[in-house]
Structure 1
Amino acid sequence: MYYIYVDPALLGVSLEFFAFPGYTQLSNTVQCLANIQSLRGTPPPVRIGGTTQDRATYNASEPLPARFTVSDPTQAPTTLTYGPSFFTLASQLPGNVTIGLNRQLNNEANTLSAAQQAVSAMPNLFAIELGNEPEFYASGSPIIPAGQSWSPTTDAASQQKWHQDLRNTIGKSIGQGAVYLQPPTWGTAELIPKIPNAISSIFSFSGHSYPQSACGGASTNLQTLQSHTGIISYTSQYKVEATAAHNAGKHYFLAETNSATCGGGGISPTFGAALWIMDYSLQAVLNGVERLYFHQGTIANCAYCWWGQNIVDGPYYGAAFLSQAIGTDGHSVAMLDSGTDSTVIYGIFSSSGLPLRVLIINTAFFNGTGTRSSVTVPLTNIQNTIPVTAQRLTAPAATSVVPTGGTSPITLAGRTFTPACTSSGTQVVENVSVISGSANVTVAASEALLVFIRP
């Protein structure tokens, strides 16, 4: 059995740069973050960045956190400015904060000025990114040197210089390098050998990752998303990237991830996405990822967001249930299933190696029609003197979604999250019968069960 340490701040959120001030104005943001903090004992980390960080220009005289104009509230701005109060808002977040700054426009003096303000205003500043997914910089981007093509080698030279200059300007190694979406061609393992003079200036490396795409009308598939074998296969790519970072003595994070690109499409607000988050996150851990930041984009147009205006969406239930599974005392995790079918079993262990809880996810797809199958999972070597209980995360179907302003069809131990992100309803705790140190628990298709085997 292979155990691996779980970071207390494993689950974080990535807030799109221009939308960040708007998220601070949502009444449920504070509560949703506080819920995760209560379950894990550590505030969830926040990354502020995304496509619009490379469209943003810092203005030390700007009174607003961010200034931009859009004709449609569902769209992101093509250009924006932001001021010192942007960092003041970020300083009020309870956890560690990573800030993504502009590199594409090639105004290094402006970016370094913003970095200085961030360091000055934010005691919770964790890292600074310089550019977002640079592999997608267009041919006319100012950062591309005249007469040169943009390639991993060209980008590496740029990253090396900018990270060195960042350290020299602010006096600390706080840069987060790579920030790529397309490994291995554009990846941490490819970048590190090309930037030997900047390694000491970098605090961490990160990648971005989305299993599916909803861009340009592309189709998405929920059954494929929540497939356990599919998740195992997809997350195996992280091992090379994480190993490269760790061998260089640096952290490795997924600084931006979610179910599907371009806002997520129809699969993303579903209960199936909640099941995916749990399995996906723990498989990422098993492959060396220390933290995952789930992206939240344009508030009025964000299928994969955990919460929004007057709603707490289905994926948040997965984040909450996983946070409860790991808890404040969970130190390490081990995969206990074969990895060859739809039954997912993870053991959560204390720092001394004692088994605490077992998380079971039945990823068999159920769309709400026909007979719902189930699986019975045997648990052995249980101490008979310890009462064993369980809590269930369930919904009518994998395709279930939470209606805006309405009651959630998804329940976590019989309870739901209100639009304000508070818990509502009577908690349902199931008693598990243990006979001679063994027990059997049943989990329906597209459902999860958390078994507490130690108080």
Structure 2
Amino acid sequence: MRAILTVGFLGVVCSLSAAITITVPRAPPSTAVNVDPAALSVSLEFFAFPDYTQLTATTNCLDYIGSLRGAPPAIRIGGTTQDRAIYDPSLQSAVNYTVADPSDAPASLTYGPSFFTLASKLKGDVTVGLNRQLNNLTNSLAAAEHANAIMENLYAMELGNEPDLYSQSSPIVPAGSTWSPSVDGQSQRAWFTSMAPSVGDLFQGAVYLSYPEWSTRGLIPILSSAISYVKTFSGHSYPQSACGGASTDLPSLMNHSEIVTYTSQYGSDAAAAHGAGKKYFLGETNSATCGGGGISPTFGAALWVMDYVLQGLLNNVDRLYFHQGTIGNCQYCFWGRSAVGTPFYGAAFVSDFLGDNSARLAMLDNGTGLTAVYAAYADTGAPTRLLVYNSDYYNGTGSRSSAAVFIPGIMNASGSVHVKRLTAPSATARVDQGANVTIGGVQFDAACQLTGTQNTEKISIEGGSISVSVKASEALIVYL
């Protein structure tokens, strides 16, 4: 039985669960992990990248995350259309393509030098994706050489997007061969070896979606000595699919224990990359494939972003790049032309929690229940913030349960702490449908500027302990 006490909260009848007790270690526990300043980063679909640079929200949303974290998010420019793109050094525009409908992605496109001029103006590390599927190494090398010459912020180059999904008829597939992880690995090795003398050792390897058949740990031995040309390894991941009419499930997506289970798969590839002295990224990820389906613009998906980032880090992923697809046809996108999407609230909230001084991150719950509790530790070793998330699914009907979390051993023996709450009327609430989604009372306008009055709640410390209440489908940050 969940409910033991019924109370009124903001006009909604809430069922209060039995209290959970969480003790905060005074120093990072052995399970704590390091946190990259650009842990939450962004992937921009290749053909749409120039248009993203024209949106005010792009600059403002990236700057807002950077202001919270003390460093700008990294950017990956790539996706399906990078393997449809041909470099034209004489093209005056950044990209050139035609589509029957503005919501479509082009079947083919060309891009020119100004594409990289735009990329050179981004504030964070930039990874550029280039075409490998069409097997035109000379063309991709020309693009790589120009990017390397003008981009001081160039971090890595990615040769091909999700090669595990190439068809047997793709030009890169050798005649008489069956496309497989070993054949692709030999191709990656050959391309890295051919291009490195001109552009350096800055390639991003793997870039696979089909785990575990295709994996970083499987690619590394195939690369052999060519691994010296690799700077980073990347995997792609989407917990659910919205392709071809596939059904999606929001309660499952946002469930804390299911997120813990799903992200555990990243550990082996991360360990393989780190064992080779390389970083491991989720170079493209989001809630559901093919733009996101009906679950991705919801508040539940925002809560998923928050919990998913932290679980990715705890499984030793160095950075997670959240993909932004076709502008105007992308339900999981953080922002677009006319609004900031609900998922961005989760990105902003987890960035607020990690802050600009988080050296270590730890999960304090056991990962099997609905309620998650995390601690962020400063480089001094002291805990600075807690994040509490109640992943119980609330769809807006009936009573809304509430988890009570008792936290003893707060370092300040008396006084109070402040709490900031991420909340909405339900897990299905959507900003683009007028829902009141807020972080400490504020929202983002279409330009990704904060509106409203920022507020925090004051929680009294009694006997060195505090108690917080978190409604179903809600989260909060405790500032210690």
Residue deviations 1:138-180 (CA, integer Å, cap 9, x gap): 121110111111111110110001111221121x210000000
| Aligned partner of residue 310 in structure 1, secondary structure | coil
Paired residue for 1:149?
178
| 1:149-298 equivalent positions in 2, closer than 5 A | 149-170=178-199, 172-298=200-326
The alpha carbon displacement at 1:385 in A equals: 5.0
The alpha carbon displacement at 1:409 in A equals: 1.4
| 1:300-379 equivalent positions in 2, closer than 5 A | 300-379=328-407
| Aligned partner of residue 291 in structure 2, secondary structure | coil
| Aligned partner of residue 311 in structure 2, secondary structure | helix
The alpha carbon displacement at 1:27 in A equals: 2.0
Partners of 1:288 and 1:198 in 2: how far apart?
A: 24
Partners of 1:166 and 1:348 in 2: how far apart?
A: 41
| Aligned partner of residue 297 in structure 2, secondary structure | coil
The alpha carbon displacement at 1:123 in A equals: 0.5
Runs of 4+ in 1 over 3 A off after TM superposition: none
- Kindly indicate whether residue 467 of structure 2 is the aligned counterpart of residue 440 of structure 1: yes
- Kindly indicate whether residue 99 of structure 2 is the aligned counterpart of residue 70 of structure 1: yes
- Kindly indicate whether residue 447 of structure 2 is the aligned counterpart of residue 416 of structure 1: no
Partners of 2:60 and 2:257 in 1: how far apart?
A: 34
The alpha carbon displacement at 1:331 in A equals: 1.0
The alpha carbon displacement at 1:387 in A equals: 3.6
Partners of 2:230 and 2:435 in 1: how far apart?
A: 43
Paired residue for 2:13?
none
Partners of 1:289 and 1:297 in 2: how far apart?
A: 22
Partners of 2:226 and 2:101 in 1: how far apart?
A: 41
Residue deviations 1:117-154 (CA, integer Å, cap 9, x gap): 11111100010000000011112111011111111111
Q: Is the 8 A contact 1:166 1:175 kept in 2?
A: no
Q: Is the 8 A contact 1:55 1:102 kept in 2?
A: yes
Alignment partner for residue 129 of structure 1, among 132, 139, 158? 158
- Kindly indicate whether residue 75 of structure 2 is the aligned counterpart of residue 43 of structure 1: no
**TM-score between the two structures when normalised by the length of structure 1:** 0.98
Q: Is the 8 A contact 1:229 1:341 kept in 2?
A: yes
The alpha carbon displacement at 1:197 in A equals: 2.4
Q: Is the 8 A contact 1:277 1:318 kept in 2?
A: yes
Q: Is the 8 A contact 1:84 1:117 kept in 2?
A: yes
Q: Is the 8 A contact 1:408 1:416 kept in 2?
A: no
Alignment partner for residue 479 of structure 2, among 442, 452, 455? 452
Q: Is the 8 A contact 2:35 2:313 kept in 1?
A: yes
1:107 aligned partner, one-letter code = N
Alignment partner for residue 425 of structure 2, among 355, 380, 396? 396
Partners of 2:208 and 2:405 in 1: how far apart?
A: 39
Q: Is the 8 A contact 2:273 2:279 kept in 1?
A: yes
1:434 aligned partner, one-letter code = I
Partners of 2:206 and 2:357 in 1: how far apart?
A: 32
Residue deviations 1:35-74 (CA, integer Å, cap 9, x gap): 0011001000000000000000001000000000000111
Q: Is the 8 A contact 1:6 1:330 kept in 2?
A: yes
- The aligned length equals 450
Partners of 1:28 and 1:7 in 2: how far apart?
A: 24
Residue deviations 1:259-284 (CA, integer Å, cap 9, x gap): 00000000001110111011111111
Partners of 1:435 and 1:116 in 2: how far apart?
A: 62
Q: Structure 1 vs Structure 2: percent identity of aligned residues? A: 56
Partners of 2:469 and 2:314 in 1: how far apart?
A: 26
2:339 aligned partner, one-letter code = I
The alpha carbon displacement at 1:340 in A equals: 1.3
Partners of 2:85 and 2:378 in 1: how far apart?
A: 44
2:275 aligned partner, one-letter code = N
Partners of 1:448 and 1:184 in 2: how far apart?
A: 32
Q: Is the 8 A contact 1:408 1:417 kept in 2?
A: no
Residue deviations 1:394-422 (CA, integer Å, cap 9, x gap): 00000000127xx5510000000011100
Residue deviations 1:284-323 (CA, integer Å, cap 9, x gap): 1111100000000000200000000110011100000111
Partners of 2:112 and 2:386 in 1: how far apart?
A: 47
Paired residue for 2:16?
none
Q: Is the 8 A contact 1:306 1:316 kept in 2?
A: yes
**TM-score between the two structures when normalised by the length of structure 2:** 0.93
1:271 aligned partner, one-letter code = F
| Aligned partner of residue 431 in structure 2, secondary structure | coil
| Aligned partner of residue 400 in structure 2, secondary structure | coil
1:362 aligned partner, one-letter code = N
Partners of 1:305 and 1:389 in 2: how far apart?
A: 31
Alignment partner for residue 431 of structure 1, among 433, 441, 458? 458
Partners of 1:200 and 1:452 in 2: how far apart?
A: 43
The alpha carbon displacement at 1:81 in A equals: 0.2
| Aligned partner of residue 236 in structure 2, secondary structure | strand
Partners of 2:359 and 2:324 in 1: how far apart?
A: 28
Q: Is the 8 A contact 1:380 1:438 kept in 2?
A: yes
1:110 aligned partner, one-letter code = N
